[in-house]
């Protein structure tokens, strides 16, 4: 075969393949265009409503909510009419729900917490509350540095509890944020119950845009389940009582499996050894692997884990564009029940480490 005929054979094979590729790319671009058009037709939650827009209390959502509050929890129609009178949408809440800070790369996310002021205040408070933290550690089995780190991140040690009216916030998300409506329906019920139980006017409580409140920044269901009275005055006061605040944080972590002195994480390097680990990382809280499998893939020896519990694989973005990979132990995982962001859990742990530096 001469060169010319060989060239023609190559050309006849290559052009159809190229044509197929072109067609595929055209189809793919059409799919993306349609997806983009669909996205344009689906406005964000904040774009569907106006600020201070009255909430429709005659909607099926609210009729069912009021039925539950009356029949299952003993609220009277008159009470509910007074509580919900004039409740309106807070559009800013909806905007913030779609732009949460935990979506930032880790190197940016952690920067706001690792300030000299935050670290210095944490160290000072650890010293000031030494006796109290001795008793909390003994009763709940959670290290004091972790407790104080969560206190600092959640509310700046009680100096920043939020400026949003929690009752309005919960109603806004329930009524106008469909993706989380069911969850916030439950939080709205829990909030009204805790306010009744503790003699608190629900319309006066301030908190975050997500409906968390107090120095612990508990959501309503967490308050009812995990807040404790540690100062012995008969009230669970996460607004004003430092003993109640710190013990409630410890009680929450204990409930989700925290073990005193157990490992929190282990370094895995800047690359993952195989696709199984990458799949586990991408699966987030669902991505669990045996310690032995992670060791074999990474060529490392990891600390033992109680009851041979599985570990999670975490990837954290660094400022230079590299990744830092970790094996997340059950103590790390306990923090993700508080906030399901791995970035949050690592920020808590690293802030606690900085208190001891």
**Report field, pTM of the whole predicted structure over 0.75:** yes
What residues have CB less than 8 Å from 15, skipping those under 6 apart? Answer: none
* pLDDT tens digits, 239-276: 999 999 999 999 999 999 999 999 999 999 999 999 99
How does pLDDT run across 66-94, given as a tens digit for each residue? Answer: 999 999 999 999 999 999 999 999 999 99
pLDDT value at 63 more than 70: yes
Q: Would you say 274 and 297 are in contact if contact means Cβ atoms under 8 Å apart?
A: yes
CB 147 within 8 A of CB 132: no
pLDDT > 90: what percent of the chain? 82
Return the SS3 of 311. Answer: strand
- H helices present in 199-261, as ranges: 220-226, 242-255
Buried b (16+ CB within 10 A) or exposed e, 74-93: ebeeeebeebbeebbbbbeb
Exposed / middle / buried, residue 115 (Cβ in 10 Å: 0-12, 13-18, 19+): exposed
Mean pLDDT of the region 298-317: 96
Full set of structural domains in the chain with CATH: 46-258+346-357 (1.10.8.350), 265-328 (no CATH)
- Residue 176 pLDDT exceeds 50: yes
**Span 139-170, pLDDT tens digits:** 999 999 999 999 999 999 999 999 999 999 99
Token pair, residue 181, equals 């409506």
CA 91 to CA 87: how far, in whole Å? Answer: 13
294, 253 contact by CB (below 8 A): no
What rounded mean pLDDT belongs to the chain?
Answer: 89
Sheet holding 265-269, edge to edge: 265-269, 323-328, 311-317, 288-289
Q: Count CB atoms within 10 A of the CB of residue 18.
A: 10
Token match 């309106």: residue? 88
Four-CA torsion 181, 346, 218, 91, nearest 10 degrees: -40
What's the DSSP call for residue 47? G
| Rounded distance between C-alpha atoms, residue 261 and residue 139, angstroms | 14
pLDDT-wise least confident of 10-14, 110-114, 172-176, 350-354 = 10-14
């Amino acid at each position: 075969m001469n060169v010319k005929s060989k060239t023609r054979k190559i050309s006849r094979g290559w052009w159809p393949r190229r044509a197929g590729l072109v067609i595929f790319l055209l189809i793919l671009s059409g799919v993306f265009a349609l997806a983009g058009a669909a996205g344009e037709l689906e406005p964000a939650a904040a774009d569907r409503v106006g600020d201070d827009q009255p909430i429709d209390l005659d909607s099926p959502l609210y009729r069912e909510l009021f039925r539950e509050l009356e029949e299952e929890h003993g609220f009277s129609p008159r009470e509910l009419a007074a509580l919900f009178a004039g409740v309106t949408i807070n559009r800013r809440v909806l905007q913030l729900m779609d732009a949460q800070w935990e979506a930032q790369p880790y190197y940016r996310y952690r920067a706001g917490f690792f300030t000299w002021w935050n670290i210095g205040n944490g160290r000072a408070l650890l010293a000031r509350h030494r006796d109290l933290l001795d008793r909390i550690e003994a009763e709940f089995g959670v290290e004091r540095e972790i407790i104080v780190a969560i206190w600092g991140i959640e509310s700046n040690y009680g100096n920043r509890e939020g400026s949003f009216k929690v009752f309005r916030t919960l109603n806004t998300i329930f009524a106008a944020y469909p993706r989380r409506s069911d969850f916030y329906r439950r939080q709205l019920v829990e909030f009204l119950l805790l306010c009744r139980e503790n003699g608190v006017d629900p319309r006066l409580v301030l908190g975050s845009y997500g409906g968390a409140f107090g120095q612990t920044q508990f959501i309503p269901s967490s308050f009812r389940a995990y807040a404790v009275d540690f100062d012995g005055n008969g009230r669970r006061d996460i607004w004003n009582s430092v003993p109640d605040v710190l013990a409630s944080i410890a009680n929450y972590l204990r409930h989700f499996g925290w073990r005193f002195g157990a490992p929190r994480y282990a370094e895995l390097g800047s690359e993952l050894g195989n696709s199984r680990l990458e799949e586990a990382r991408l699966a987030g809280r669902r991505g669990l692997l045996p310690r032995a499998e992670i060791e074999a893939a990474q060529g490392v020896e990891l600390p033992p884990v109680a009851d041979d519990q599985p570990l999670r694989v975490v990837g954290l973005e660094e400022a230079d564009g590299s990744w830092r990979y970790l094996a997340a132990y059950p103590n790390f995982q306990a923090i993700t029940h508080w906030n399901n962001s791995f970035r949050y859990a690592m920020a808590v742990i690293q802030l606690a480490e900085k208190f001891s530096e």
